[in-house]
Structure 1
Amino acid sequence: MTSARPAGRPRRSSRATLEEAAAELFLEHTYAATTVEQIAQRAGVSRATFFNYFASKADLLWAGLDDTLREAGAAVAGVGAGGAPVDAVVEAIATGAGGAPVDAVVEAIATAARSRGEGWLPLALTQHEVMGLGADVAGEGVARAAPLVDPVAQALARATGRRASDGPVRVAASVVAAATAAAVMAWAADGVGRGPLEDAVRRALDPLRPALAASVAVAAS
């Protein structure tokens, strides 16, 4: 005798199904009133499976932003030495050129946004009012840029001959990460009339270029 199929929807991708189930439940019941158990049940997976993909319920709100910044970090990790790491950022945004560390960060974000269309946008930004989220959502989003700091600092260090732990390098990397995340968030919150993501990132980073370039100037040999 064939056993009954577990409750919930047919599984396509557990991660994608969890994201879809969470979005439905957050809209139906608000974020605060939805539990991990309810999300897992709606998705047709176990609670343990939920935690294989997400560390917390909050991660579902920011999945799109986290994925985009993670791709940016991976791109930065592959950047080699050479070039002016910060001064070339705007050109990289416009042309898609790689090479310098900040170029790679911005281009990775822009490429991820273009390839995903609207579907990757974080629920915390696009549906926060309906889901009953507080006014401090934006601050939480910028804080999620923290994992991008180390890859950017290491890339800046490789490109400048300084150490990734040097104060100026860490400060520059933190600014780049936070400004990039803030630009993506502002772009996402603009709604259907938003322009290209590359333009949003340019507006955020362009005014910072002189100070960042000076702070990570190549160390004297």
Structure 2
Amino acid sequence: TLEEAAFELFAERGYAGTTVDDIAQRAGVSRNTFFNYFSAKSDVFWSEIDDRLALLPGFLAATDPTLPAFRAIGEALADAAGSFGPENVPWILTQYELIGSPAEVQASALSRFGAQAEVLRQFAAERLGQHPGELLPRVIAYTTVGAVLAAAQAWAAAGPGRGPLTAHLVRTLAPLADGFTSS
């Protein structure tokens, strides 16, 4: 309910023209109730994505231990993206231009990308038998996060015929897994 109220108000007034109090009032709850669910106004964009990304460590742990690190990461990300299909696109991906690019939204996105890069870095280091501070686990993690962002943006922009996010992820990650030899 809070997300729906927020999205309606963002569409009507823009992101900057909408306050947490406005969202709470539209949803019929108190300001404190809003903060029971979200730590900031920008967090309303990410709850569905956050829920799926919270499953990523489990998906990573469930990968075949004989798979190379990057392929295992690709499989885990495909599993995490499995619930996103043509009719289930996170609002932020299709309405970003409508709300503009406020620094608060960019910061909330960046913090999420950083957190996921850390999960991927730790996994890659363990799979490679390297210290997480070494260069290769970092490169794998940040390259993967960039590729996932590119895939998600292309998927959202593809419109109603976009298909599942998983297909876009697989297509985007394949050249990385192959060392760009297939592109």
Which bin holds the TM-score, normalised by the shorter protein?
0.7 to 0.9
1:187 aligned to 2:155? Answer: yes
CA distance in 1, matches of 2:142, 2:61: 16
1:76 aligned to 2:60? Answer: yes
2:39 to 30, 55, 61: 55
Question: Alpha-carbon deviations, 1:108-127, whole Å to 9, x = none?
Answer: 21x1214xx624x2322222
CA distance in 1, matches of 2:68, 2:149: 22
Equivalent residue number for residue 115 of structure 2: 147
1:209 aligned to 2:181? Answer: no
Question: Alpha-carbon deviations, 1:163-191, whole Å to 9, x = none?
Answer: 22222111111111221132123202221
1:107 aligned to 2:74? Answer: no
Of Structure 1 and Structure 2, the greater helix share is in 2
Which stretches of structure 1, 4 residues or more, deviate above 6 A after TM superposition? Answer: 138-142
CA distance in 2, matches of 1:79, 1:199: 19
| C-alpha spacing 1:55/1:74, structure 2 compared with 1 (3 Å) | farther
CA distance in 2, matches of 1:73, 1:39: 32
Q: Which runs of 5+ in 1 are unaligned?
A: 1-16, 90-99, 213-221
Which structure has the larger Rg?
1
* TM-score in terms of structure 2 length: 0.80
3-state DSSP of counterpart to 1:34: coil
1:133 aligned to 2:105? Answer: no
| C-alpha spacing 1:185/1:64, structure 2 compared with 1 (3 Å) | farther
* TM-score in terms of structure 1 length: 0.68
Q: Which runs of 5+ in 2 are unaligned?
A: none
RMSD of aligned residue pairs (Cα, Å): 2.9
3-state DSSP of counterpart to 1:68: helix
Equivalent residue number for residue 2 of structure 2: 18
3-state DSSP of counterpart to 1:164: coil
Question: Alpha-carbon deviations, 1:47-93, whole Å to 9, x = none?
Answer: 1221222222122234343333333344225557433122xx3xxxx
